[in-house]
Amino acid sequence: MSEQREPEGEGDGGNVGGGQTPSRLEGVRRTLSRAIEMLRGSHLEVSNYSPRAHGPLVSFDGIAGRREVERYWVNAPFAFVSIQFDPSDNTHYYHTVEPELTDEERVLLESLFEDVRDPLLYRKGEGDDPEELLRETVHELLERYGSRVDLRTFYRLFYYLHRDFRGYGRLDPIMHDPYVEDVSCDGYDLPIFVYHDSYTDIGTDISFGKAKLDRFVVRLAQHSGQHISIGDPMVETTLPDGSRAELALGQEVTPRGSAFTVRKYAEEPFTPIDLIEYGTFSVEQMAYLWLAIEHNKSLIFAGGTASGKTTSMNAVSMFIPPRSKVLTIEDTRELELYHDNWLSSVTRERMNEGKDVSMYDLLRSALRHRPEYIVVGEVRGEEAITLFQAMNTGHTTYSTMHADSVQTAINRLENEPINVPRAMVQSLDVLSVQTLTRMDDERVRRNRLVAEIEGVDQRTGELDYSTAYTWDGEGDTHRSSNSHVLEEIREERGWTQGQLLTEKRNREAFLEYLLDQGITDYRRFTAMINEYYADRESVLETIEEYRADVESTEAGEGPVETDA
């Protein structure tokens, strides 16, 4: 909340001391006093900030004509979001609230922006905490200025410096919002839009003028280690926090002005339990995928934009047996595996000297590392040939591609620019097709079907496939059919049909147990999977005891009493 200063009166006592009014004399005295303070310096006591002890840093009284639906912190105690509803156009709006500065604080902030950069560059050493270093630097500069500011002013100034030097500037509150998936800027002076988990596409109160937007896009590219210019105006990159960004500079390719889209990186990755909880997959489907992954079946996730392909691939990779060697290949860093024996590789564009390193180069190199599992971010071109060659030589591979059906995926693989021969496509075991759809006025992600590639029909020459699971949109359920992949696993393991069904039911029970226990944290989930691989009998015994306790409680018997 802005601190209101008392207006300076003009006085009515006539001219004093050579024609100056008392108020003007007071202004001169204050200026002299500040100059003397700066020469002397000052001493500031800076302690940890407490809203209860020191008062709030931000406040918001609403917007006339709009009703606040909800508000929540995104960077407490500095910034929160207020979702507003405007009945005149029946629309929700996304409003960010940050600390307001007085005029004097703005002058101080401008001085600090000029003076804080060099100390941060030259004082930072290995192991230094950037946030603590910034706090110390601001403290020292304010004392050097001779400024006597209270703790709230200090932390308001610190917030804006940290936001602009270490964060995303005006966009920082949005980037801290866990409910926002995508951020879109379409040009100069246009409101930024976000995709919100609860309100879908919603306009914000943030926009950039021409000069500021151009600078912001260049800064995003630089922070990602990329170069963008009018001569090379488009960049696809990964931001320091792992988010994906598509940047366009100027009006060469985007006539409305510089533009960007940020697909935010989730700090806590989705696990298979999350995908079951959201209804993307059923427990039975996830148990099926677990068996397929453990038994080295190759898999591609297909779907449209934002259908959750990469999220699903990341999640099911947690089923890879511990200590198996995994190698990932991407052109934009997006995959994050929680696996001990994991080698990550990313393409590189030539910078001044050296040569480009393409996905094709990385994939050829990957085969020399002798990985058991190869994960490719997305197949789009010549690297697909090498990927399918790896499948044909016994490597287990996973990838994603843009396609909204099995036939579309096959057509893309077999035609320009991918051009995988049909005889090689048949080495793919499972194709999972995902979709982003609407249910009850909400956008949801669903696994539309799981197809199994069976080979080339000798009579027609066409690729044969069968459907193991399909999604019924009317009832929002997943239906299963016979699976030849599971039959292959049964034959490879020498299991009877009963043993296969028992193994599948055990994994379903395990996943249901984790779902009941709310184990969605990737660390705990991975630890439990590793425990299952290490001592399956003990884990299953624990699940049986849990089931017995639940059934006993539901029957009204209560817990079994024992002697002390």
Percent of the chain with pLDDT over 70: 88
Q: Which domain holds residue 466?
A: 272-550
Give yes or no for a contact between 515 and 283, defined as CB atoms under 8 angstroms apart.
Answer: yes
Cα 142 from Cα 467, distance rounded (Å): 68
Angle subtended at Cα 316 by Cα 312 and Cα 321, rounded to the nearest 5 degrees: 160
- Provide the domain count of the chain: 3
Same domain, 225 and 317: no
562 lies in some domain: no
Reported pTM: 0.77
The pLDDT tens digits of the residues spanning 53-89 come to: 888 999 999 999 999 999 999 999 999 999 999 999 9
Same domain, 154 and 234: no
305 lies in some domain: yes
339 burial via Cβ count (<10 Å: 0-12, 13-18, 19+): middle
Q: What is the pLDDT of residue 457?
A: 84
115 lies in some domain: yes
Q: Which of 78, 65, 260 is nearest to 157 (CA)?
A: 78
Same domain, 314 and 384: yes
Per-residue DSSP letter, 137: H
Same domain, 418 and 486: yes
Q: Which of 461, 450, 396 is nearest to 422 (CA)?
A: 461
**pLDDT at 36 > cutoff 50:** no
SS3 state at 291 = helix
**pLDDT at 447 > cutoff 90:** yes
The pLDDT tens digits of the residues spanning 227-270 come to: 999 999 999 888 888 888 999 999 999 999 999 999 987 778 89
Q: What is the pLDDT of residue 1?
A: 39
Last residue of a domain, one of 147, 165, 183: 165
Token pair recorded at residue 459: 């009579």
Confidence of residue 22 (pLDDT cuts 50, 70, 90): low
Same domain, 241 and 277: no
Q: What is the pLDDT of residue 117?
A: 78
Q: What is the pLDDT of residue 3?
A: 38
Average pLDDT of the chain? 86
Last residue of a domain, one of 263, 289, 306: 263
**pLDDT at 10 > cutoff 60:** no
The CATH number of whichever domain residue 507 belongs to comes to 3.40.50.300
Q: What is the pLDDT of residue 353?
A: 56
Q: What is the pLDDT of residue 541?
A: 95
The CATH number of whichever domain residue 185 belongs to comes to 3.30.450.380
**pLDDT at 563 > cutoff 50:** no
The pLDDT tens digits of the residues spanning 299-338 come to: 999 999 889 998 999 999 999 999 899 998 887 777 777 7
* 180, β-bridge pairs: 196
How many C-beta atoms surround the C-beta of residue 138 within 10 A? 23
Cα 222 from Cα 242, distance rounded (Å): 15
Last residue of a domain, one of 165, 191, 212: 165
15 lies in some domain: no
Same domain, 91 and 108: no
Token pair recorded at residue 542: 């624990």
Angle subtended at Cα 395 by Cα 394 and Cα 397, rounded to the nearest 5 degrees: 135
Same domain, 217 and 104: no
Same domain, 231 and 380: no
Same domain, 344 and 461: yes
87 lies in some domain: yes
Considering only residues 365 and 190, tell me which one the structure prediction assigns the higher pLDDT: 190
Q: What is the pLDDT of residue 27?
A: 54
Q: What is the pLDDT of residue 16?
A: 35
The pLDDT tens digits of the residues spanning 260-301 come to: 999 987 778 899 999 999 999 999 999 999 999 999 999 999
Same domain, 258 and 334: no
Per-residue DSSP letter, 169: G
The pLDDT tens digits of the residues spanning 466-511 come to: 999 999 999 999 999 999 999 999 999 999 999 999 999 999 999 9
Q: What is the pLDDT of residue 85?
A: 97
Same domain, 73 and 132: no
Considering only residues 399 and 225, tell me which one the structure prediction assigns the higher pLDDT: 399
**pLDDT at 416 > cutoff 70:** yes
Token pair recorded at residue 212: 């500021």
32 lies in some domain: yes
Same domain, 230 and 343: no
**pLDDT at 37 > cutoff 90:** no
**pLDDT at 20 > cutoff 70:** no
**pLDDT at 542 > cutoff 90:** yes
φ, ψ dihedrals at 297, nearest 5°: -90, 130
449 lies in some domain: yes
246 burial via Cβ count (<10 Å: 0-12, 13-18, 19+): middle
In order of 139, 297, 313, 401, 564, the CA distances from 398 in angstroms are 51, 9, 8, 10, 54
61 lies in some domain: no
Token pair recorded at residue 343: 């080698």
